[in-house]
Amino acid sequence: MNFSFIPVALAAQTGAENAQTAGTVSSIFLLLGFVIIFYFMLWRPQSKRAKEHQDLISQLKKDDEVVTNGGVLGKITKVTDQFVTLEIAERIEIIVQKQAIASLVPKGTIKSV
């Protein structure tokens, strides 16, 4: 009797297990790489912008000149918890949510426009 096929079969099985393990490890590294790229290119910058915007909203005060998300330029005349009153022209005021403020502009911008 010849039992030479048993070591050959065991060697083939061990090789397949090693290839499968290497494939699993490389898949884990690839997935980890995507997570790291996603974090540094999307999540981190977005959370930084959200924090900066929240800081801007919390520091709004009377006489600041701002631009809203809709592009309206105005001067803050009143600040409450949720809303600000903007003077967009002489004696013309609108009330907007604080979250609608896009940016703070330097004082004197309204007069220069």
Report the pLDDT averaged over residues 31-36: 92
Task: Specify whether 6 is located in the same domain as 45.
Answer: yes
For 37-61, write each residue's pLDDT tens digit: 999 999 999 999 999 999 999 999 9
Task: Specify whether 15 is located in the same domain as 39.
Answer: yes
- From 15, 33, 59, the end of a domain falls on 59
- E strands, the chain, are 65-68, 73-79, 83-89, 92-97, 101-105
Number of domains in the chain: 2
**Taking 80 as the threshold, does the pLDDT of residue 19 lie above it?**
no
- Domain region containing 87: 61-112
Task: Specify whether 89 is located in the same domain as 37.
Answer: no
Task: Specify whether 2 is located in the same domain as 16.
Answer: yes
- From 33, 59, 85, the end of a domain falls on 59
SS3 66: strand
Alpha carbon distance 111, 43 (integer Å): 38
For 64-103, write each residue's pLDDT tens digit: 999 999 999 999 999 999 999 999 999 999 999 999 999 9
Of the candidates 67, 50, 47, the residue with the CA atom closest to the CA atom of residue 58: 50
Task: Specify whether 31 is located in the same domain as 45.
Answer: yes
SS3 61: coil
